[in-house]
Amino acid sequence: MSELFLYNTRTRRKERFEPIEAGRVRIYSCGPTVYAPQHLGNLRAYLFVDLLKRALLAEGLRVTHVINITDVGHLTDDADRGEDKMERAAERSGASAAAIAAKYTGQWLDDRKRLRCLEADVYCKATEHIPQQIELARRLEAKGYTYLLEDGLYFDTSKFPRYADFARLDLAGQAAGARIGDVAGKRQPPDFALWKFAAPGVQRQQEWDSPWGRGFPGWHIECSAMSVHYLGTHFDLHTGGVDHIPVHHTNEIAQSEAGFDLHPWVNVWMHNEHLKLGDEKVSKSKGHTLVLDDLVARGIDPLAYRYFFLQAHYRQQQSFSFDEMEAAATGYRRLLSAAVEARSAAGEPEPEERDALEYERGEFWAAVRDDLNAPRAMEVTWRVARGSLSGPAKRELLLDFERGLGLGLDNQQPQPADSPADPRIEALLEDRRAARARRDFAAADAIRDALRAEGIEIEDTKDGVRWRRVR
């Protein structure tokens, strides 16, 4: 029996994870819409699912992981209004939608490698699975779940009684027309498009023939059709951002469970919280375009962003600032230095260290198994890195922890640092940084005051934390 506990959005509780098929796990992750670069907020979702995948592999499970690439059909409003993001990007840039998709898919895949994300088994593009999407829409039509408008083929949510359950929606409280918008003839606000037609007089780059007329798929049906194509009609895990819960994932569930006559379609749904910049989530629609290369341009190792991500739980919002990022880069550099020293240690752990080894190993993996508690796992990692165990003992543990962390503790070298070296003080500064990350400002201030009492002055700068002895 698995010892891994995960928070299931479907049931709103933490549950022991048991795969449908013994020894095997099937995961579908909502991937990028490739009309623009994937920013740091987007990348948080893929770091989360990589942490999940590493935890599953550490349990000895075989994982089949599918990630979609949305290269058609995602409108500027998730509820079927506005322009197709790919078509709009093509019109504004003068490049073809296919060229734009290829460019930003490549950028995303490169960023995944730089962040040491494990490769998915399948990367599936919406434009390459149009027949599967049409077939699912035809299946729903045959079962009486659809109606046809001049705008396209729509799913009738009134015929699916569980529609509101997943997101705990108050359908009765929705303002009349709140999501009907300019779609003439739409029966209920939450009804959504399975297949769309181009507006009269509009020439689209991406269109296909269908039983209902020439057009393009609705965004939601893409994920249902592709996930079922590769993973079967009932699979273990579906991941995405919290913003997917009320519309995209709710619609996926409705059309999939209606189409295949089953419940639940997916056993466990998991969602990561947003990255925030100031008081807003990092979002392209808000004009936030910070990408991984922006960190590299400031001399920050891309893996320092992974280290930064691991400071907060995936279900907590995380605030981004360059001060916090620089502090994380410093912490990552120090951790890598400790790992390099441990990797160079000759010999094997002492027999009398075995109890301590097993204790720390147990603490680390207990944190991971507790709904991917990365901050607690990092606390154990730092305790080992700066503790009194021998070099060989540290090497054994850090290489084991690397299976869950993906920080390069097995082979990466730290970038040069220009701060003074004192392991004890640096350890205290790391404790202070961790306290600030979890918003325990009282603990952070206590560390600062203790150092000040020793005659050590610290300064928080845009380049990270600096310290000097003043007496």
Mean pLDDT of 185-189: 93
Three-state secondary structure call for residue 461 = strand
* Residue 175 confidence class, pLDDT cut points 50, 70, 90: very low
192 and 327 together in one domain: no
113 located within any domain: yes
Residue 468 β-bridge partners = 457
Mean pLDDT of 149-172: 94
Position 77 scores a pLDDT of 64
Q: What is the pLDDT of residues 433-461, one digit of tens each?
A: 888 888 888 988 999 888 888 878 787 77
CATH number of domain containing 49: 3.40.50.620
pTM of this prediction?
A: 0.85
201 located within any domain: yes
Give DSSP secondary structure letters for 288-332: ----HHHHHHTT--HHHHHHHHTTS-TTS-EE--HHHHHHHHHHH
% of the chain exceeding 70 in pLDDT: 90
44 pLDDT exceeds 50?
yes
CB atoms < 10 A from the CB of 418, how many? 7
75 and 189 together in one domain: yes
Q: How far apart are CA 423 and CA 386, in angstroms?
A: 8
Lowest mean pLDDT among 81-90, 115-124, 169-178, 185-194: 169-178
284 located within any domain: no
* Residue 420 confidence class, pLDDT cut points 50, 70, 90: very low
Q: Higher pLDDT residue, 15 or 441?
A: 15
Mean pLDDT of 165-192: 76
250 and 362 together in one domain: no
204 and 317 together in one domain: no
Q: How far apart are CA 160 and CA 81, in angstroms?
A: 22
Q: Higher pLDDT residue, 181 or 397?
A: 397
415 located within any domain: yes
* Boundaries of domain holding 60: 5-276
What sign does the dihedral 169-173-179-185 (CA atoms) show? positive
Paired tokens of 424: 């004890």
Q: How far apart are CA 212 and CA 347, in angstroms?
A: 70
C-alpha distance from residue 65 to each of 42, 184, 374, 422 (Å):
18, 39, 21, 44
386 located within any domain: yes
262 located within any domain: yes
* Residue 177 confidence class, pLDDT cut points 50, 70, 90: very low
Q: Domain tally for the chain? A: 2
448 located within any domain: yes
Tell me which of 276, 306, 321 is where a domain ends: 276
Q: What is the largest CA-CA distance in the chain?
A: 82
91 pLDDT exceeds 60?
yes
Q: φ and ψ at 447, to 5 degrees?
A: -65, -45
% of the chain exceeding 90 in pLDDT: 72
Is residue 78 within 8 A of residue 136, CB to CB? The reply is no
Position 282 scores a pLDDT of 63
Mean pLDDT of 131-156: 97
168 and 221 together in one domain: yes
263 and 312 together in one domain: no
